[in-house]
Structure formats: C-alpha cells, structure tokens
C-alpha cells in the first residue's frame, strides 16, 4: 500500500508535533509513530525549558552558560538562534494550551526553576511533569487539525531514496542528488510494510539512550532516525558525546526513573553514604556544576568507595514544599518505600541524552534533498560537547519551527509525479522462532556500551567494544535478511548501528572534552580537536 502526503513526519515527540502544527496549513501531513502518540522522551521531561524570562537575566548570560557547558564545540550562531527565540516559543506553547507553573503570588508570572550550569533561574516548568504537559497540549492541537493524519504503532524501517525509485519520481528545482521520497514503514498491528511517500520527510525520532544498559530514556529511544539517515547517506556527527544524567533513581524496581536536576536547583545536595558532601571538591558550582562534571564526580566517588550509589538529599525543604514542587518524584519514590521528605534518595548516573546525531543546517536541512531532522535526533551545533540542562526542549521547538519555514517553501517547489517505488521486498525471509537471539543481542550491545564506552573511556576499552559490536553487526545483518521483519528486529539493527557510530566517533577523537573522557588522552586539545567528528556512509545496506 502507498500513502502519500506533502509532509511525512517520523516521530510524535515535541519536535515532530510542533513541526506538523507549523506545516499543516500548507499541505497534507502524515505522522508515523511507533507506539502511542504520546510515548516519547518528551513525555518524561521533568525539569523544564530553559528560556530568558526574568528581568535579571539576559540572552548573553544564557548564551554564555550554553557555550561553557558545550566545552568549546557549540556553534555560537546556532546557540544565539535558539536562545533568542526562546521567549517566543514559550508564548506559543502557552497559546497552544500548555499550562506552566506560575509564581504563587503573581497569577500571570511564570515560576522559574534553576538547574546545573545555569547562572540564573530560567527554567519554565509544569511542576516536575513539564514534558507530559507539553505533549498533552501538542497532541490536542494536532487532533484539531483536519490536515494531519496520525499512524500509531507504525515504525519507520528505512528511508526511500533515489536508488529505490524507478523511474525518477518527483520533480523539483535544484540538484537531484540524494533525494529522499519518504519511508518504508511497518504497520505493527498488521505486520505489513507500506510505502509512505512525501515531498518532505522530517526525522524527529528522538535520541538513543537505549543503547546503554542503564538509561533515563523510555523504550522508544533506540536511535532509529540516526541509523536510518546514516544508512541512506546522511552525515552524522559527534556521536561520542552521550550525556549521562547524574541522578537516576537507584532501586531494583525502578526502571529508568529520573530525579530532576531541579531538585539540586532547589538546594538538594549530593552526599556519600556517610552523609558527607563531595561536589565542592570538583567544581565551584558544587552540585550545580554542568552535568558532565557531576556525573564523572559521582562515577569516581562510587568507584573509590565501592558503593552502588550516592544520595541526593532534599530534606532541608518542608514536606509540603517537596510535595508541591516535585509531586511525581515524591509519589514514585514513596511507592518504592522512599519518603523523600525524610530520607535521601539513592541515585546513580545513567545515559540520558544524545548530543550528536544527523547533521542539519539552521533550517533543519540535512545533506539529502527532501530530508529534514529536528529534536534530539539532530546535531544542530547547539549542544557542542555537552548539553546545558533544559536546552533540549528549547532546541527542538526552535529548530522544528525553522525547519517548517524552509520545508513549506521546498514543498511548494516540488511536484508529485508518477512515482514508482518498489514494494518492500521480503525476499526469502521466513518467520523466526528464535526471538531469544534478538533479546540476547540487545542485551550484549547495551552491556558492551555501558562497560566500555561509558562515562570514562580508554583506547583499550573502545577497541574491545569495537570488536564485539563488529561481530554483532554481522550477525544481525544476516539475521535481518533471513527473517521476516519485526519491530524488535528493526530496533536491534538500529541500536547496533548507533553503537557502532558512538564507538567510531569516540575512537576518532584523540582528546577529552565535555562528555567524552578518555584516560589515554586526558586533556582537552583545542589546537587539533576543536571540531566535530563527522561520519558518512556511502552504501545502502
């Protein structure tokens, strides 16, 4: 079956939905999303969106904080663009219906939180469920548009590129190299693969935290968009910069539950088992130092003491203050037997954010015609070697808006003709009765990355990881072509590809900077390495 639209949006987090809402007045929009519409990292965002809203704050200060966190690798123009568009995007979200926490005494003034690396209070939030509130508002707005069709439980497998189209299908002005025509998508309910054809395709599939054994990310974060784009020939950059969030709940029954940095913003302190603090030894900002520094400090202290976790103590706040400011965290912890108004919270670092991704310009354009990317899947230059807290939602809003502006124009310059896309070919694939192979490979990849490509790296560990992932990639490739495609298999193939990209980038960078710390090159080298690590694949798998 073929489904045609002017704009194909892959993913229904903040980036995909905001883009869809911007373009839907100019053409038909299809959103494909691999689970329910709301399932995304966006839904779990706690802290909020960084934006200059207070009188004592300024764009220059937000830019300075972002550049400092980014450890010399941010693109300053991209940072400026994001920061200066922040307040307007917050207003747009409010107009769309998002309800943010207001200052108790002033009914129309936003309450602003503080997080690591920020010199001012500038985090717009909805208590500790900011992402869920934004996702709710965006989905409601999308439902009101007659021009947007949403296909839930549809997982994109691969982009449809020029090589797959016979004869040439779309006509457009400009060069016709590397054209993207849409995507092959598996309908998970029916088990059939459909061709979704479009003038413009935007990848908004989020990050790749699931490539690590311990992560704050939900199950959807398997780096599908990055892997798909890479296979199609898009440029991928800076994959070595995986951000580890310092404070995920450490509890056997808690899967990937984050304790927001805003807890430290409200004075929460990191402590060792004996109750002593340690962050003051590592950075003048103490517990509110940028994330790379806090996560590395915790990792070091845990290795030194042999303890399984450290503790985040917020008991200096009154019980009612905690319940009001952090209602979700309070309830979840209490359900696990931890009353955070009385007891410090056991925490560990976990993989949280993919700073690298598909290279785009300031309009979300990739190097392939008709292909855009926005949100966590993209590498826009904003985050450099380490993202500043709460800059991700902001970047997704600003860049998906900029992408929409250009995509509207490009879609006007593009006409549909008779596109003949070959149907998805299952070849001689048969049903697999060995799903254990898939789950074993998943597990091995995630453990390998956690053990060898984690917070602290070395050449030896990276080489070891590379050897293992190479073997797994070969196995998965063989498996992929022999068995009928399933959602698990698609994701396995993608996390293997992303694991490989992370290792490749980490091996290329011969220095330590931001989130990439290699004990064999412990110093930052601005003379040779103040540049991105860019990888491009030429062949279609």
Q: Considering CB under 6 A, how many residues would be counted as binding ligand SIN?
A: 8
Q: Between 89 and 296, name the residue whose CB sits nearer to ligand FAD.
A: 89
Q: 438 is in the binding site of which of ligand FAD, ligand SIN, none (Cβ under 5 to 8 A by kind)?
A: none
392 interacts with ligand SIN by CB under 6 A: yes
Distance CA 467, CA 175 (A): 39
48 interacts with ligand FAD by CB under 6 A: yes
Q: Out of 389, 476, 498, 502, name the contact with ligand SIN by CB under 6 A.
A: 389
Name the closest residue to ligand SIN (Cβ). Answer: 47
Considering the candidates 122, 291, 387, 446, report the single residue annotated as catalytic: 291
Q: Between 48 and 512, name the residue whose CB sits nearer to ligand FAD.
A: 48
Cβ of residue 216: shortest distance to ligand FAD, in angstroms? 4
Q: Out of 6, 7, 8, 12, name the contact with ligand FAD by CB under 6 A.
A: 12
Q: Out of 5, 7, 8, 11, name the contact with ligand FAD by CB under 6 A.
A: 11
Residue 236 and residue 368 in contact, taking contact as beta carbons nearer than 8 Å: no
12 interacts with ligand SIN by CB under 6 A: no
3-state secondary structure labels for all residues of 62-80: HHHHHHHHCCCCCCHHHHH
Q: Out of 135, 240, 261, 410, name the contact with ligand SIN by CB under 6 A.
A: 261
Q: Out of 262, 385, 501, 505, name the contact with ligand SIN by CB under 6 A.
A: 262
Cβ of residue 390: shortest distance to ligand SIN, in angstroms? 4
Determine how β-strand 154-161 pairs with β-strand 235-237: unpaired
Distance CA 93, CA 134 (A): 7
Positions in 192-251 near ligand FAD (CB under 6 A): 204-207, 216-217, 220-221, 224
Residue 40 and residue 232 in contact, taking contact as beta carbons nearer than 8 Å: no
3-state secondary structure labels for all residues of 140-205: HHHHHCCCEEEECCEEEEEEEEHHHCCCCCCEECCCCCCEEEEEEEEECCCCEEEEEEEEEEEECC
156 interacts with ligand FAD by CB under 6 A: yes
Q: Between 261 and 301, name the residue whose CB sits nearer to ligand SIN.
A: 261
Angle between helices 459-482 and 435-452 (to 10 degrees): 160
Q: 441 is in the binding site of which of ligand FAD, ligand SIN, none (Cβ under 5 to 8 A by kind)?
A: none
Annotated active-site residue 291? The verdict is yes
Question: Which regions of 284-419 does DSSP assign to beta strands (E)?
Answer: 310-313, 345-354, 357-359, 371-373, 378-379, 414-415
Q: Between 47 and 233, name the residue whose CB sits nearer to ligand FAD.
A: 47
**Among residues 325, 345, 320, which one has the least CA distance to residue 334?**
345
- Which residue intervals of 378-458 are DSSP H helices? 392-412, 435-452
Distance CA 208, CA 352 (A): 9
Q: What is the DSSP string of 26-55?
A: SS-EEEE-SS-TT-SHHHH--S-EE---ST
Distance CA 124, CA 307 (A): 35
Distance CA 267, CA 77 (A): 33
Q: Between 374 and 465, name the residue whose CB sits nearer to ligand FAD.
A: 374
47 interacts with ligand SIN by CB under 6 A: yes
Q: Between 46 and 448, name the residue whose CB sits nearer to ligand SIN.
A: 46
Residue 337's CB is within 10 A of a number of other CB atoms, namely 9
The site for ligand SIN (CB under 6 A) is made up of: 46-47, 260-262, 389-390, 392
The site for ligand FAD (CB under 6 A) is made up of: 10-16, 32-35, 39-42, 44-49, 130-131, 155-156, 204-207, 216-217, 220-221, 224, 258, 353, 375-377, 390-393, 396
Catalytic residue ranges = 291
């Amino acid at each position: 079956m073929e489904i045609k639209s002017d704009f194909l949006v892959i993913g229904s987090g903040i980036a995909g939905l905001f883009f869809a809402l911007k373009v839907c007045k100019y053409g038909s929009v299809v959103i494909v999303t691999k689970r329910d519409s709301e399932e995304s990292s966006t839904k779990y965002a706690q802290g909020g969106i960084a934006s200059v809203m207070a009188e004592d704050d300024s764009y220059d200060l937000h830019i300075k904080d972002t550049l400092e966190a980014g450890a010399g690798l941010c693109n300053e123009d991209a940072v400026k663009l994001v920061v200066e568009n922040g307040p307007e995007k917050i207003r747009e979200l409010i107009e769309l219906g998002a309800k943010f926490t207001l200052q108790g005494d002033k009914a129309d003034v936003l309450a602003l939180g503080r997080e690591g690396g920020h010199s001012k209070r500038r985090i717009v939030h909805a208590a500790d469920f900011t992402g869920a509130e934004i996702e709710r508002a965006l989905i409601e707005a999308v439902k009101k548009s007659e021009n947007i069709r949403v296909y839930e439980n549809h997982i994109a497998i691969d982009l449809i590129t020029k090589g797959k189209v016979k004869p040439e299908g779309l006509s457009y002005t400009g060069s016709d190299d590397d054209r993207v025509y849409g995507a092959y998508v598996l309908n998970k309910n029916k088990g059939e693969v459909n061709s979704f054809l479009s003038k413009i395709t935007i990848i908004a599939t989020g990050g790749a935290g699931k490539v690590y054994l311990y992560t704050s990310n939900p199950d959807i974060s398997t780096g599908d968009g990055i892997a798909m784009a890479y296979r199609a020939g898009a440029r991928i950059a800076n994959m070595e910069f995986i951000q580890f969030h310092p404070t995920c709940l450490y509890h056997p029954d808690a899967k990937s539950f984050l304790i927001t940095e805003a807890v430290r913003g409200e004075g929460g302190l990191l402590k060792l088992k004996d109750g002593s603090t340690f962050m003051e030894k590592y950075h003048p900002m103490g517990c509110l130092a940028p994330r790379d520094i806090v996560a590395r400090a915790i990792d070091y202290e845990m290795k030194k003491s042999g303890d399984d976790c450290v503790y985040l103590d917020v008991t200096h706040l009154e019980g009612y203050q905690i319940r009001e400011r952090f209602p979700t965290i309070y309830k979840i912890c209490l359900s696990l037997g931890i009353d955070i108004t009385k007891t410090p919270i056991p925490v560990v670092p976990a993989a949280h954010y993919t700073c690298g991704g598909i290279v785009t310009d300031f309009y979300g354009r990739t190097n392939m015609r008709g292909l855009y990317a926005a949100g966590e899947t993209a590498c826009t230059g904003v985050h450099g070697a380490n993202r500043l807290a709460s800059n991700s939602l902001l970047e997704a809003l600003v860049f998906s808006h900029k992408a929409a502006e250009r995509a509207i124009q490009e879609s006007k310059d593009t006409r549909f003709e008779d596109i003949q896309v070959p149907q998805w070919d299952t070849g001689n694939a048969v049903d697999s009765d060995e799903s254990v192979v898939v789950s074993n490979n998943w597990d091995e990849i995630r453990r390998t990355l956690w053990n060898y490509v984690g917070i602290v790296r070395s050449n030896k560990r990276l080489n070891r990881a590379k050897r293992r992932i190479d073997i797994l990639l070969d196995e998965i490739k063989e498996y992929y072509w022999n068995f009928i495609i399933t959602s698990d298999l698609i994701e396995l193939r993608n996390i293997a590809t992303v694991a490989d990209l992370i290792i490749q980038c980490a091996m290329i960078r011969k220095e330590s900077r931001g989130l990439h710390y290699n004990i064999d090159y412990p110093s930052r080298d601005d003379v040779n390495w103040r540049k991105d690590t860019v990888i491009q694949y030429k062949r279609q798998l």
